[in-house]
Amino acid sequence: MELLTNVLAATVVAGTPLLLVALGELICERSGVLNLGQEGMMLMGAVAGFVATLTSGSLIVGVAAAIVAGIGMSMLFAFMAVTLAANQYAAGLALTIFGTGLSAFLGAGFVGQSIDGFTRVAIPLLSDIPVLGRVLFDQDPLVYLSLIAFAGVAFFLRHTRGGLLLRAAGEDPDAANANGLKVLVVRYLAVAFGGGMAGLAGAYLSLAYTPLWTENMTAGRGWIALALVVFASWRPERVLLGAYLFGAASILHLVLQGLGWKSSTELLAMLPYVVTILMLVLLSWNPARTRLNTPLSLGQPYRPGH
Amino acid sequence: MLLLERRPVDSSLMRWASPLLALVLTVITGFILFLAMGKDPVEGLRFFFITPISDLMGLAELGLKMAPLLLCAAGLTVCYRAKIWNIGAEGHFLMGALGASIVAVQLVDVDSVWVLPVVLVAGTLAGMAWAALAAGLKTHLNCNEILTTIMLNYIALNLLLYTVHGPLKDPYGFGFPQSVMFGDSALLPDLIPGTRLHLGLAFGLLAAVAVWVMFARSFIGFQLNVVGQDHRAAAFAGFGARRLTWFAFLVGGATAGLAGASEVTGPIGQLVPQVSPGYGYTAIIVVFLGRMHALGIVVASALLALTFIGGEILQIAMNMPKAVTGLFQGLLLFYLLTCDAFIHYRIRLKRPAHPSTHSTATGEA
Amino acid sequence: MSSALRLKLENIVKEYPGCRANDGIDLRVEAGEIHALLGENGAGKSTLMKVIYGVVQPDEGRMFWNGHEVRVNSPAQARSMGIGMVFQHFSLFETLTVAENIALSLPPFEARDRKKLDQRIREVSDRYGMTLDPRRYVSTLSVGERQRVEIIRCLIQESTLLILDEPTSVLTPQEVASLFATLRQLAKEGCSILFISHKLEEVRSLCHNATVLRQGRVSGDCRPSEVSATDIARLMVGDDTPISTRVTAAEPGEVMLSVQNLEWQSQDPFGTSLRQVSLELRRGEIVGIAGVAGNGQDELLKALSGETRVDGGSITLEGKGLEKLGPDQRRGMGVAIVPEERLGRGAVPKMTLADNALLTASGQGLVQRGMIRFERVREFSREVIRRFGVRCTGETSTAGSLSGGNLQKYIIGREALQNPRLLVASHPTWGVDVGSAVAIHEALVKLRDEGAAIVLISEDLDELYQLCNRIGALCAGRLSPLAPTRELDIEQLGQWMAGEFDSAEANHAAA
Domain that holds residue C483: 255-350+419-510
Q: Is C321 exposed, middle or buried (0-12, 13-18, 19+ CB in 10 A)?
A: exposed
In a domain, B193, yes or no: yes
The CA-atom distances, in angstroms, between C220 and each of C3, C50, C217, C235 are: 21, 21, 9, 6
Helix axes C404-416, C374-387, angle to 10 degrees: 110
How far apart (Å, rounded) are the C-alpha atoms in residues C487 and C467? 14
Q: How many domains does chain C have?
A: 2
Asked if the structure places residue C403 within a domain, the reply is no
Do C90 and C149 sit in the same domain of this protein?
Answer: yes
C363: in domain: no
What's the confidence (pLDDT) of residue C76? 83
Dist CA C30 CA B287 (whole Å): 60
pLDDT band of B355, cuts 50, 70, 90: very low
Interface touch A164/C75, C-beta < 8 Å: no
Q: Which residues of chain C from 402 to 421 reach within 8 Å of chain B, CB to CB? A: none
For residues C78 and C192, state if they share a domain.
Answer: yes
* Domain boundary pick from C237, C271, C287: C237
Helix (H, G, I), strand (E, B) or coil at B192: coil
pLDDT at B361 over 50: no
Chain B contact present for A76, CB below 8 A:
yes
The rounded distance, in Å, linking the Cα atoms of B230 and C348 is: 6
* Residue C405 resides in a domain: no
Contact C422, C281 (CB under 8 A): yes
Domains of chain A: 2-293 (1.10.3470)
Strands (E), chain B: 2-6, 345-349
Whether C39 and C154 map to the same domain: the answer is yes
Tell me if B222 is assigned to some domain. Answer: yes
Q: Are residues C202 and C327 in the same domain?
A: no
Is C103 in the same domain as C183? yes
pLDDT (0 to 100) of residue C269: 72
Neighbours of C244 (CB within 10 A): 13
Strand residue runs (E) in C143-250:
161-165, 192-197, 209-214, 217-222
Q: How far apart are CA A131 and CA A12, in angstroms?
A: 13
Task: For chain C, give the mean pLDDT.
Answer: 89
Can you give the pLDDT at residue B365? 32
Q: What is the DSSP string of B197-254?
A: -BTHHHHHHHHHHHHHHHHHHBHHHHHHHHHHH-HHHHHHHT--HHHHHHHHHHHHHH
| C242 found inside a domain | no
pLDDT at B359: 38
Interface list for C 334-373 with B (CB within 8 A): 337, 339, 341, 344-351, 355, 358-360, 362, 367, 370-372
For chain B, the domain total comes to: 1
**CB-nearest partner of C75 from A161, A178, A296:** A178
The whole-number pLDDT of residue C251 equals 80
Cα–Cα separations (whole angstroms), residue C207 to A144, C46, C200 = 64, 18, 10
C166 shares a domain with C122: yes
| CA-closest candidate to residue C273, choices C264, C282, C262 | C264
Residue C481 DSSP symbol: P
Vertex C115 angle, CA C112 and C118, to 5°:
100
**Do B122 and B258 form a contact (C-beta atoms < 8 A)?**
no
For every residue of B246-257, DSSP letters joined together read HHHHHHHHHHHH
Model confidence over B217-255: pLDDT tens digits?
A: 999 999 999 999 999 999 999 999 999 999 999 999 999
pLDDT digit string (tens) for B158-191? 999 999 998 999 888 888 899 999 999 999 998 8
Is residue A153 packed enough to be buried (19+ CB in 10 Å), middle (13-18) or exposed (0-12)?
buried
User: Is C390 inside a domain boundary?
Assistant: no
- Diameter over CA atoms, chain C: 75
Q: C68 and C24, same structural domain?
A: yes
Distances (CA, A) of C222 to A140, C11, C31, C64, C218: 76, 19, 18, 22, 11
In chain A the beta strands, taken as DSSP E runs, fall at 121-122, 138-139
Q: What is the nearest CA distance from A163 to chain B, expressed in angstroms?
A: 26
User: pLDDT tens per residue, chain C (511 residues)?
Assistant: 445 899 999 999 998 876 788 999 999 999 999 999 998 877 888 889 989 998 889 999 999 999 999 999 888 889 889 999 888 777 788 888 899 889 888 877 777 788 888 999 999 888 888 888 899 988 888 888 888 899 999 988 889 999 998 888 778 888 889 899 999 999 999 999 999 987 888 899 999 999 999 888 999 899 988 988 888 888 888 776 666 666 777 788 899 999 999 999 988 777 889 999 999 999 999 999 999 888 999 999 999 999 999 999 999 999 999 999 999 999 999 999 999 999 889 999 999 999 999 999 999 999 999 999 999 999 999 999 999 999 889 999 999 888 888 999 999 999 999 999 999 999 999 888 888 899 999 999 999 999 999 999 998 888 999 999 999 999 999 999 999 999 999 889 999 998 988 755 444 433 3
Residue A166: strand, helix, or coil = helix
Give the pairing of strands C286-290 and C335-338: unpaired
Test the C interface: residue of A166, A167, A179 with most C CBs within 10 Å? A179
CA distance C152 to C182: 11
Other beta carbons within 10 angstroms of residue A227's beta carbon come to 29
CB neighbour list of residue C109: distance below 8 Å, 6 or more residues apart: none
**CATH number for position B106:** 1.10.3470
pLDDT at B194 over 90: no
State the Cα–Cα distance between residues C1 and B274, nearest whole angstrom.
84
Q: Residue A205 gets which letter from DSSP?
A: I
Domain range for B289 is 40-319
Q: Is C164 domain-assigned?
A: yes
Q: Indicate if C188 and C293 belong to the same structural domain.
A: no
One digit per residue, the tens of pLDDT, for chain A of length 306 reads 678 888 899 999 999 999 999 999 999 999 999 999 999 999 999 999 999 999 999 999 999 999 999 999 999 999 999 998 888 988 999 999 999 999 999 998 899 898 998 998 888 888 888 888 888 888 999 999 999 999 999 999 988 889 989 999 998 898 888 777 889 999 999 999 999 999 999 999 999 999 999 999 999 999 999 999 988 889 999 999 999 998 998 888 778 777 777 777 888 888 889 999 998 888 776 666 666 667 878 888 887 754
Which amino acid is residue C229, in one-letter code? A
Report the distance separating Cα A68 and Cα A83, nearest Å: 20
| Confidence at residue A288, expressed as pLDDT on a 0 to 100 scale | 65
Q: Please state, in angstroms and rounded to a whole number, the distance separating the CA atoms of residues C89 and C166.
A: 9
Q: How many other CB atoms sit within 10 Å of the CB of residue C370? A: 11
Q: Which of A200, A235, A192, A239 is nearest to A218 (CA)?
A: A200
Cβ-nearest to C82 among B10, B226, B365: B365
pLDDT > 90 fraction of chain A, expressed in percent and rounded: 59
Tell whether C3 lies on the interface with A, counting CB pairs under 8 A.
no
Note whether C359 contacts B237, CB cutoff 8 Å.
yes
CATH number at residue C135: 3.40.50.300
Provide the percentage of residues in chain B whose pLDDT is more than 90.
69
pLDDT for residue B215: 96
In a domain, B307, yes or no: yes
Q: Is residue C196 part of a domain?
A: yes
Is B79 strand, coil or helix?
helix
DSSP B346: E
Residue range B313-348, pLDDT digits in tens = 999 988 888 888 989 999 999 999 999 888 888 887
What is the rounded distance in angstroms from the CA atom of residue A233 to the CA atom of residue A237? 10
pLDDT of residue A291: 64
Q: Which of C429, C114, C180 is nearest to C288 (CA)?
A: C429
Rg of the Cα atoms in chain A: 19
What pLDDT, on the 0 to 100 scale, is given for residue C383?
96
Contacts of C among chains (3+ CB pairs under 8 A): A, B
Residues from chain C that touch B215, judged by Cβ atoms under 8 A, are none
Across all residues in chain B, what is the average pLDDT?
Answer: 90
Residue B364 lies in a domain: no
Examine residue B27 and state whether it is found in any structural domain, yes or no.
no
